[in-house]
Amino acid sequence: MKMPTRIPRPRTSRRTLIIVIVSIVVLLILFGSTATFYTDLLWFKETGFQTVFFTQIWTKAFLGLTFGVIFAGVMLLNLWVVQKSTSPSRLFTMQDQVLERYRATLQPYVRWGVVGLSLLFGLFAGSGATSQWRNWLMFSHSQHFGGATDPIFHKDIGFYVFRLPFERFVFTWAFSSLLVITILTGL
């Protein structure tokens, strides 16, 4: 009589486990975001201010897309210039020749890596700009304060209330973006 053999357990790889865990985390985040979006939509609809809700959503999307595309475009342009201006033909030592072999192997993937990196950082830069939706709406619908002016610079007070916060954000964002792009281009 033959003894029954033990049935082997299916092996679950670490990769599958990581994919499942990441998928669960992403689904939980999406569920929370969707629940918040839906409850806000219901509340604004109930109070009769649905247009305010959609104005906020469209403004955030506009700012995120605009600032994200600008950042990704400038970064992509800088990385492209660096890639075109570096000369791979300077080989002096044996170690340089080994590095050249690695460079030749990775060269077909560099273009997609540069585009992907630019889009990823553009996504981060655009998502940071979405928090400025109130300042953008005040900037784009600015009014004068009935002739009241600042005693030092003789500017209308409306400039300081409506326009200056968004202009300050744009200046800070542009400086930070150029600093990050310079660092990433230097690497």
Alpha helices in the chain, H assignment, sequence order: 14-47, 50-85, 94-129, 133-140, 157-158, 164-186
26 within some domain? yes
Q: State whether 43 and 60 are in the same domain.
A: no
CB 59 within 8 A of CB 133: yes
Q: What is the pLDDT of residue 33?
A: 83
64 within some domain? yes
Tokens 């570096």 correspond to 86
168 within some domain? yes
Q: Indicate the number of domains in the chain.
A: 2
Q: What is the mean pLDDT of the chain?
A: 86
pLDDT band of residue 9 (cuts 50, 70, 90) is low
Pick from 16-30, 64-78, 141-155: least confident:
141-155
Let me know the angle formed at the C-alpha of 138 by 132 and 123, rounded to the nearest 5 degrees: 20
Q: State whether 72 and 162 are in the same domain.
A: yes
The tens digit of pLDDT for each residue in 172-185 reads 999 999 999 999 88
Positive or negative CA dihedral for 9, 10, 11, 14? negative
Long-range contacts of 47-55 (CB under 8 A, 24+ apart): 55/137
Q: State whether 27 and 105 are in the same domain.
A: no
* Between 61 and 155, the higher pLDDT residue: 61
The tens digit of pLDDT for each residue in 133-167 reads 999 999 998 888 877 888 888 888 888 888 999 99
CA distance 70 to 125: 9
Q: What is the pLDDT of residue 11?
A: 62
CB 67 within 8 A of CB 174: no
pTM exceeding 0.85: no
Residues 6+ apart with CB under 8 A from 150: 156, 157, 159, 160
Q: State whether 121 and 173 are in the same domain.
A: yes
7 within some domain? no
Q: State whether 142 and 172 are in the same domain.
A: yes
74 within some domain? yes
Give the whole-number percent of the chain exceeding pLDDT 90: 47
User: 54 pLDDT exceeds 70?
Assistant: yes
Residue-number span of the structural domain to which 37 is assigned:
16-48
93 within some domain? yes
CA distance 187 to 181: 10
Give me the mean pLDDT over the 125-130 stretch: 92
Q: Which of 16-25, 40-49, 145-154 has the highest mean pLDDT?
A: 40-49
Q: State whether 40 and 91 are in the same domain.
A: no
Q: State whether 152 and 78 are in the same domain.
A: yes
Q: State whether 44 and 62 are in the same domain.
A: no
Q: State whether 34 and 86 are in the same domain.
A: no
Give me the mean pLDDT over the 46-72 stretch: 94
Tokens 């979405």 correspond to 130
Neighbours of 68 (CB within 10 A): 21
